[in-house]
Structure 1
Amino acid sequence: MSTATTEPATRAAARPVMSPLRQTLRLTRTEFTLFMRYKTALMFLGLAVFMFLVPLNMPGDPVLGDITTADLALIAAMGSVGLIIGIGHPSNVFTARRESLVLKQMRVSGVPQSALFGSITLMVVLMSLGISVLGVAMLAVVSGALPKDPVMLLLSVLLSAVSMSFLGLLITPLARTAESAQMTAMVPMMFLLFTGGNLIPTGMFPDRVVNMLGYLPTAAAGRLAQASYTGYDVFSGYESATPAGIPELWVAALPTIGILLAWSALFLVLTVRYFRWDPRQP
């Protein structure tokens, strides 16, 4: 009898413990599979691609040499491409999983919080990078321009996708169902979309307004993408923008990078503090 009872315990003790990193990567692969199955997720993907099509129909006035306002709007879309997927998708699927007790079951089974949040964030990052490659190809075809500093462009897409993923997760405590999460997510999504420099080029606004919008995460990411693409120090406004070398450009970009990191940290802290694992009671 004692032998029979100790055998399962021995087997459980001998079972290898999966590291949080490995769990995150495995869950990320699952997230990709589920993303391609969700019709709503594909809608968010289509909207993200649509952000690149809007600037193509805008009138292009030269702003920075041969770079036009339409080009700047298209470049800004690369910095904020994670806005649509990052806010829309995590808020939708995590609310649905919470209400169907999937999240609670995963937490009880020992899946760490870092793996759950990290997998959806990594998926959004990779999807945003893939869509940004499409934007680079479109801009190369239209104007023949390529980024002067690809690393800075990569950083802008990365930080934007991370911050928007955390914001999407932060929305889930406010929603009861996946449908209501979609409606709730539209409020910050539309606000950040219209102030990010994609649909409405920020070059149309006075520099004082542009500087105020620069403190928003999508606008900061768009400005970082524009600097990386044009090689101009655009962080103080387009009228005073001057060409800069890569070291000088990185020094000028430090405050903007700090803004994106601060937003990411704020959204993460609030998500960890207020995220709900149990279904909301009627």
Structure 2
Amino acid sequence: MSASPAFSIAAVPRAARAALQWRLLLLWALWMLVPTLIMALPAWHLLSSSLDYSVHAAALARALDMTAVSDLLEVHGRHQAVFTQAGGIALGVTLLISALLSGMVATAARAPQAPGFTALTRGGMAYYAPMLRMLAWGAVPLGAAFMAGISAVDAASAYAGEVVTTSEAALPMMLAQALMVLLIGLVTASLDAGRAFLAHDQRQRSALVAWWSGCRLLARHPLAALGTYIVISLAGLGLAGLLSLLRVNTAGVGVLGFTGALLLTQAAVVTIGWMRSARLFALIDLVRARAA
């Protein structure tokens, strides 16, 4: 029986550096443009048809006043079905692309050196079927975690209706919300651990078996697995949040403004791609250390 790998903070920068492969991140950004465009086209058409011929078009391009916002919301309400359909299609496309990108990350993690575009694409297609099955299976534990969290929140809400003061209800509600986040986070980590087993052993094609192996990995080596996972997640989400905040406060007016806003948006997307890649790299390293 192999010794339990211990958590080491050195695993974080190692995985972070390994995931900084410009070809992988560029493919991530390009593929994620597809669902973005699907969502953006209806919004672009709405803004174009409503504002292009306004005498205040130049001013509205910089900031929308309340009258313009009210008019746009009214038009949006009349075309709600179009936006709902576009959102559903974009979500489905995102999930399908996610399996391909996971396969590319697995290919990059297994390669002795940074693979090129062709190798990444071929590897993504080779891993596509098992990664897609893992994605489909993930709906089951994620749904169970979500329902358990909702039950806890409902119980906290019921308790809040019985107590006298707001302070008495605040703690149970915070604990219920924290439980939901914890459960969903653990399930997400277990699914990524399952992907690590799929990447480590190409003969493994069963998503369910790989996921169960990932669950056992988290149970046997919680510090080594979850320690790096949490640190990388916090770093990635923090940086992506900062970039998103900068984007919100950047007016995309003019060539420079539009370019800056676009670059900030894509930088946030790439950061999420780097975070997901680094987490998978770290888990694959742990699987290798456990198998050695």
**TM surpasses 0.5:** no
Query: Larger radius of gyration, structure 1 or 2?
Result: 2
Q: Which has the higher helix share?
A: 2
Q: TM (normalized to structure 1)?
A: 0.31
